[in-house]
Amino acid sequence: MNFTCQTTYALSTVTSNTGKPARFLRRIEGAHITGSLVRRQVFHMDITFLLNGESVEVRDASPTVTLLDWLREERGLTGTKEGCNEGDCGACTVMVTDARGSRGLNACILFLPQIEGCAVRTVEGISSPDGDLHPVQEEMIAHHGSQCGFCTPGMVMSAAALLKENPNPTEHEVRVYLEGNLCRCTGYHNIVKAILAAAGAQGEKIAAE
């Protein structure tokens, strides 16, 4: 992980107690800037992570690019949806795995450098190598867990992350895990049924992968 430089500063000139001009660097954010010179310096990082099983290196990753924007705009992985873009709806959920395990996280509030060293799976990357759908996807179809479909990739990724860590969740645990995923169409009932159907024996298989 290579850090370069961060923070925006203004070089300001004031009159000191001695009556002589004094110059100092002042952070721009929230500061009253009277100086003549403004320098802009931004952190850039080289990061490496796994994306759908493939090692990816991003050089000079900007600290202000979200994982969601990068996935959609740089990689064309538009299965990860943009809804609220502020961490409330779950449409952008991806599965992130690190030493602590797997979690469904909102890609719209994850900055790219934060996934250094992690494994990221998007909805495009959860089918089996021979193309079979993930059990959660199969059961979402079988139980009519999708209507307009906008929330579905996020729901699927949250459910996949849940079953990876807890192959036999109770209905209550499923509902709690889905709290961050909003659906305006289905009423959640069929989504929960689908996830419970994908649990059990299939869940054990998912957890072992």
Q: Between residues 44 and 81, which has the closer beta carbon with respect to ligand FES?
A: 81
Q: Between residues 10 and 110, which has the closer beta carbon with respect to ligand FES?
A: 110
Nearest to 90 by CA among 56, 123, 139: 123
- Under the binding rule (CB under 6 A), the answer on residue 91 touching ligand FES is yes
- Under the binding rule (CB under 6 A), the answer on residue 113 touching ligand FES is no
Specify the pairing of strand 119-121 against strand 93-98. antiparallel
Quick one: angle between helices 189-198 and 201-208, nearest 10? 70
Q: Between residues 51 and 91, which has the closer beta carbon with respect to ligand FES?
A: 91
- Whether 169 and 161 have beta carbons less than 8 Å apart is answered as no
- Under the binding rule (CB under 6 A), the answer on residue 183 touching ligand FES is yes
The one among 9, 47, 70, 83 contacting ligand FES by CB under 6 A: 83
Give percent helix, percent strand, percent coil of the chain, each to the nearest 5: 35, 25, 45
Considering only residues 135 to 164 of the shown chain, the ones binding ligand FES according to CB under 6 A are 146-152
- Under the binding rule (CB under 6 A), the answer on residue 202 touching ligand FES is no
Sign of the dihedral defined by the CA atoms of residues 50, 54, 60, 61, in that order: negative
Number of residues that bind ligand FES (CB under 6 A): 23
Burial 81-118 (b: 16+ CB within 10 A, else e): bbbeeeeebbbbbbbbbeeeebbbbbbbbbbbbebeeb
- Under the binding rule (CB under 6 A), the answer on residue 106 touching ligand FES is yes
Q: Between residues 10 and 68, which has the closer beta carbon with respect to ligand FES?
A: 68
Q: Between residues 44 and 193, which has the closer beta carbon with respect to ligand FES?
A: 193
**Footprint on this chain of ligand FES (rule: CB under 6 A):** 82-85, 87-92, 106, 108, 146-152, 183-186
